[in-house]
């Protein structure tokens, strides 16, 4: 007798026998993703944001607890308050919190405490991690689960032809306060989403990716990866 708690695997995208071609095509698509700080104010429909968030919710999670919330902000007043809160934390970071080495590592990116993009981008998706369930119950592997969901989110944004930035002003408690979130929801990531500005530029360093031979290990490392499959763009 079959277990009623289980159902057959539903239909899925199947590239056929040549999974290598499909994998390389996806790699080529994702190799064009860049973190963007120069956004256009051009509108993005709510329906697109809904589909992007829905894609993120298909990420796996510990015991299927789905310990995430995606607060999608388009209201100009809220975006202005979020920018003010983020810039306050960033000024403190650059002036007092960051080590000299950290600042040196950030220098090629050209970042500073000014976060104009938080008002220019048509949408801000603020990802929250649940520390407990809505009923106060336990959640499992919440950090890992929400991290994976954010990966799905970024891939969906890129697939939609949009651009984004992973922004992490620290600490981020102000996001929960501004957005009225309960205490068990902890800010995890702030993602501006939209179209790139016409004059958008990205740091040259964004092109740099370690070769596959440095990041991919076969079995126990006895074999080197013999082929460089990187698509550095």
Least reliable range by pLDDT among 49-58, 113-122, 219-228: 219-228
pLDDT for residue 13: 80
Alpha carbon distance 11, 8 (integer Å): 9
pLDDT for residue 225: 57
Whole-prediction pTM: 0.91
Decide if 124 contacts 190 (C-beta within 8 A): yes
**Mean pLDDT, residues 8-30:** 87
Q: What's the DSSP call for residue 97?
A: I
CATH architecture of 36-197+204-215: 3-Layer(aba) Sandwich (3.40)
For the stretch 63-73, pLDDT in tens is 999 999 999 99
**What is the maximum span of the chain, computed from C-alpha positions, in angstroms?**
66
Query: What are the sequence ranges of the domains in the chain?
Result: 36-197+204-215
Decide if 92 contacts 101 (C-beta within 8 A): no
pLDDT above 90 (res 222): no
pLDDT above 60 (res 233): no
Short-list 123, 42, 40, CA closest to 75: 123
Alpha carbon distance 230, 222 (integer Å): 21
Short-list 219, 126, 101, CA closest to 180: 126
């Amino acid at each position: 007798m079959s277990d009623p708690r289980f159902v057959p695997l539903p239909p899925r995208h199947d590239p056929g026998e040549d999974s290598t071609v499909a994998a390389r095509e996806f790699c080529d698509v994702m190799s064009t993703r860049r973190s963007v700080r120069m956004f256009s104010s051009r509108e993005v429909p709510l329906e697109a944001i809904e589909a992007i968030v829905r894609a993120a919710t298909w990420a796996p999670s510990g015991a299927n607890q789905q310990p995430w919330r995606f607060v999608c902000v388009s209201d100009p007043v809220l975006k202005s308050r979020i920018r003010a809160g983020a810039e306050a934390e960033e000024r403190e970071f650059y002036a007092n919190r960051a080590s000299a080495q950290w600042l040196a590592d950030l220098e090629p990116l050209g970042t500073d405490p000014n976060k104009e993009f938080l008002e220019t981008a048509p949408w801000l998706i603020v990802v929250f991690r649940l520390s407990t369930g809505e009923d106060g119950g336990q959640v499992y592997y919440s950090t890992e689960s929400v991290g994976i969901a954010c990966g799905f989110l970024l891939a969906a944004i890129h697939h939609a032809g949009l651009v984004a930035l992973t922004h992490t002003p620290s600490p981020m408690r102000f996001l929960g306060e501004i957005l009225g979130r309960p205490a068990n929801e902890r800010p995890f990531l702030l993602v501006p989403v939209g179209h790139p500005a016409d004059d958008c530029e990205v740091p040259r360093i964004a092109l740099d990716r370690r070769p596959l031979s440095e990041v991919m290990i076969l079995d126990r490392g006895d074999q080197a990866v013999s082929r460089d499959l990187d698509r550095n763009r």
